[in-house]
Structure 1
Amino acid sequence: MWAVRHVTDEERRARLARRHGLAPAHRYDEAVAATRAMTVLHATEAPSVHLALHARVADLAVADVDRALYEDRSLVKQLAMRRTLFVFPRDLLPAAWGSASARVAGPLAVRLAKEAVAGGLSEDGAAWVDAARDAVLARLAGGDELSAQEIREQVPEVAAKVELGRGRWAQPVPVAPRVLGLLGAEGSIVRARNATHWRTARPRWTAMAAWLGDVPEPLTEAEGYAALVRRWLWTFGPGTTADLRWWLGGTLGAVRRALADVAAVEVGLDGGGVGWVLPDDVDPEDPVAPWAALTPVLDPTVMGWKERDFYLGGLGPRLFDTNGNAGTTAWWDGRVVGCWVQDDAGVVEVRVLTDLPDEGHAALAVEAERLTAWLEGHRVSTVYPSAAMAPSATR
């Protein structure tokens, strides 16, 4: 099939600026709209959700995000692609439950069954997993919200520990969090209200049915992948098959089937590659005026593609850790140009790693002031610092 047209890197960056709401002139009005625009938000680290939305929403308050997560429940945390925790728009959950989340839950159940046998909990690991699952669901069925520790204390079936590792590396590990992770991936339970402030994750768990009230049926695997791919293509397209396979955490066959199901259209990319867009999304994108933005650790834009040269250039080793986790990023005119950190007083400092015009430095300084004011002196920590974020890092 011949490519419909060629989409340059410059045009891809213009699409990113508008659709991701990163250019200040194109920010969204509220948290749910911004989340839907991004398909999902990374939630591995609790503050990333709030900071990712702050980067994309004008006049956002912490309470706005918490309201969407815990009161309106229009945004819901769900383990899904690549065994990663995301915040989903509520309407997209059935797609994940039938596809990406199911792909995660299956191996988790198998591994937990093996651990139960190896740890001496049962000679029938699968039966033990079923009994543990049923016991937790029975305890949460009434809508109580309990921490992992409270569940461990109140549900004898998951109170045990199993020894993992061998020799000097062996250590006892509680099984309750592993059972909760499995049930969360299945969509049977959900991370409910946070027991502490927004910068730290201490979730309480409850039944998904109690949390949502009306729980729709999961889509079939094919329908679910198609729905996820359709959203991803609007957000990140044009993207390559490799991009989609990595982001989706699925097989090549599942990606190709989903692309066919949504009637995705091929376009040419700079460098000779082939990307995909939705059939009603082939029109050229107008340029965007130069813009600046500061995004958090594991931001969905930075993590949206596997092939990142069109916005990251050669800065990857300095801005990602060795496991592929992105640290904070500073953007100028559609490209990542550095990172940001905070000093002891919580003031945001931008570290630029490449040459910028004075206009770029000035725009990033404005964004640093905006983020500093929003954080109100609170410091945000991370377990995924990049090399550029280290105290001793210099350009």
Structure 2
Amino acid sequence: MTTKSETPQIPQEKLTLQVLRAWSWHRQGLDGALAGCDSATVLDRVGWARSIGGANTYLTLFARAGIRRPEADAALAAQHIHELPTARGCTYVLPAKDYAWGLQIGHASAEAAVKVLVRLGVEREEVEQLAEDVLQVLLRARDTAVEALDPRGLKEILGDKVRSMGEEGKKKGASTTLPAALGLLQTDGRIRRVPVNGRLDQQRYSYVAWELPASGESDEAVRARMLEGFLGWTGGATLGQIRWFTAFTVAQAKKALAATGAVEVATAAGDVLWMLPEDVDGLAGFEVPPAEDIQLLSGSDSLVLLRRNAADLIDETGCQAVQGLSGSALAADLSDHPIVDRGRIIGLWQYDPEGTRIAWWTFEPASAGVRSRISQVEEWITADLGDFRSFSLDSPKSRAKNIARLDALRKK
């Protein structure tokens, strides 16, 4: 491992956006380096996959390692990977080695839900007692035909122990006391949420009892672990990007950075990236691959979501092409899915299930390689998924306008 004192100095002018895009592409395993790896290994190497009831996790695994849905679903069923609430209280799909400390990172969000109820007049003891009652119900259900229970089933069993919070509660996002109790149990590793049909791109869940051992680490140590992972996944990030993903305070982030031995590296654009010393060593000798390398990714893929820097991945040609478009083609959160070449966004796409096709548009005329990759991903979506949803409420109807827009732009 490269130490801080051995870290090479990289000329600032070398670190152009083109180089940094390709570097992130490489660190994200999109260059074929992860071919043949299993699901847990991919997520360990490139970072947790955002799960919001969409298909991002499946494409994350397929794009990097050629993993098909049955293999990913089998890894989920075997608990080699799992969807858990973690950074910022958001749900991601994690490898098993990260379960305990990943949950610990998300504990503050579970506590925040309890605080909302307290402000609505619910005593904390009531929420904790409800959590214990839920756990006992799930423990009794273990190894039975109804081992997994959804929120409705839990309410039926628990009856008046689940309190309705009325209209005021709905306004605060707390219709009943049950979600907060479930949140406490999840972040403690005492229950886990499982998709009712075993798929990651649906959002109907049940709960089962779990006995995940705690990490045994302090919150400070876990924050350092989070930063070490994040910097490895991204290949380097600004302090602002670090704080967005982690929700750490400035003091917490700086202390965690110091614990990782991270160093500051200035870029040609004048930004300052925090990087692990071994990644600086790798970047010093890195060259942008000369050959085109095309991937279709989700709009919430780790390449764009971990740092929310999609605009940095679009060059001048792309910026001119998307000027004036409605939606968020240049925003932190993409309105469509990106077509990417060595870290550079060169076009956009959506899946049209009615036509069993990908609607797409590239900022410049598409090469044979682009068309070939589109055909491959189109075939995979049709065969493995049936549709490609961005998030739980996405539907063919909701994306029809985007599909029509991409078709029109491509015909120009």
* TM-score, scaled relative to structure 1: 0.84
Residue of structure 1 equivalent to 2:288: 287
Structure 2 residue 78 is matched with structure 1 residue 68: no
CA distance in 2 between partners of 1:263 and 1:171 (Å) = 40
Residue of structure 2 equivalent to 1:208: 210
Paired residue type of 1:29: C
CA distance in 2 between partners of 1:172 and 1:8 (Å) = 47
Match of 2:115 among 110, 114, 117: 110
Deviation at 1:82, TM superposition (A): 2.1
In 2, are the aligned partners of 1:320 and 1:386 still within 8 Å (CA)?
Answer: no
CA distance in 1 between partners of 2:58 and 2:259 (Å) = 34
In 1, are the aligned partners of 2:114 and 2:180 still within 8 Å (CA)?
Answer: no
CA distance in 2 between partners of 1:277 and 1:297 (Å) = 25
Aligned residues: 376
Paired residue type of 1:54: F
Residue of structure 2 equivalent to 1:36: 44
CA distance in 2 between partners of 1:34 and 1:24 (Å) = 11
Structure 2 residue 152 is matched with structure 1 residue 145: no
What does the per-residue CA deviation read over 1:120-156, in whole Å, with 9 as the maximum and x for residues that have no partner? Answer: xxxx421211111111122223543211211111223
Alignment of 1:209-358 (within 5 A): 209=211, 215-283=213-281, 284=284, 285-288=286-289, 289-313=291-315, 314=319, 318-319=327-328, 324=333, 327-343=336-352, 344-352=354-362, 354-356=363-365, 358=366
Deviation at 1:327, TM superposition (A): 4.0
* Range moving further from structure 2, 190-199 or 74-83: 190-199
Paired residue type of 2:346: V
CA distance in 1 between partners of 2:376 and 2:99 (Å) = 33
Residue of structure 1 equivalent to 2:9: 4
Residue of structure 2 equivalent to 1:389: 402
* Structure 2 unaligned residues grouped into runs of 5+: none
Residue aligned with 2:277, SS: coil
CA distance in 2 between partners of 1:387 and 1:179 (Å) = 38
Residue aligned with 1:246, SS: helix
CA distance in 2 between partners of 1:204 and 1:31 (Å) = 23
In 2, are the aligned partners of 1:240 and 1:274 still within 8 Å (CA)?
Answer: yes
* Range moving further from structure 2, 37-46 or 1-10: 1-10
Residue aligned with 1:141, SS: helix
Residue aligned with 1:266, SS: strand
CA distance in 2 between partners of 1:337 and 1:367 (Å) = 13
TM-aligned CA distance change 1:113 to 1:80, over 3 Å:
same
TM-aligned CA distance change 1:139 to 1:327, over 3 Å:
farther
Deviation at 1:15, TM superposition (A): 2.2
TM-aligned CA distance change 1:171 to 1:350, over 3 Å:
closer
CA distance in 2 between partners of 1:186 and 1:312 (Å) = 41
* TM-score, scaled relative to structure 2: 0.81
In 2, are the aligned partners of 1:21 and 1:28 still within 8 Å (CA)?
Answer: no
In 1, are the aligned partners of 2:311 and 2:332 still within 8 Å (CA)?
Answer: no
In 1, are the aligned partners of 2:50 and 2:56 still within 8 Å (CA)?
Answer: yes
**Aligned Cα RMSD in Å?**
3.1
Paired residue type of 2:51: A
What does the per-residue CA deviation read over 1:349-375, in whole Å, with 9 as the maximum and x for residues that have no partner? Answer: 2222x235x43xx22222221112112
* Structure 1 unaligned residues grouped into runs of 5+: 118-123
CA distance in 2 between partners of 1:126 and 1:329 (Å) = 45
CA distance in 1 between partners of 2:94 and 2:181 (Å) = 22
Residue aligned with 1:54, SS: helix
Paired residue type of 2:109: V
Deviation at 1:161, TM superposition (A): 2.3
Residue aligned with 1:233, SS: helix
What does the per-residue CA deviation read over 1:153-207, in whole Å, with 9 as the maximum and x for residues that have no partner? Answer: 122355442223499x799934433432343244332112433655312122112
In 2, are the aligned partners of 1:97 and 1:218 still within 8 Å (CA)?
Answer: no
In 1, are the aligned partners of 2:189 and 2:214 still within 8 Å (CA)?
Answer: no
Q: RCO (CA 8 Å, sep 6+): is it higher in 1 or 2?
A: 2
TM-aligned CA distance change 1:57 to 1:164, over 3 Å:
farther
Residue aligned with 1:381, SS: coil
Match of 2:128 among 123, 130, 150: 130
In 2, are the aligned partners of 1:16 and 1:334 still within 8 Å (CA)?
Answer: yes
Residue aligned with 2:287, SS: coil
TM-aligned CA distance change 1:108 to 1:312, over 3 Å:
farther
TM-aligned CA distance change 1:364 to 1:180, over 3 Å:
farther
In 1, are the aligned partners of 2:311 and 2:330 still within 8 Å (CA)?
Answer: no
Residue of structure 2 equivalent to 1:120: none
Paired residue type of 1:389: N
Residue aligned with 1:239, SS: coil
In 2, are the aligned partners of 1:113 and 1:128 still within 8 Å (CA)?
Answer: no
Residue of structure 2 equivalent to 1:161: 164
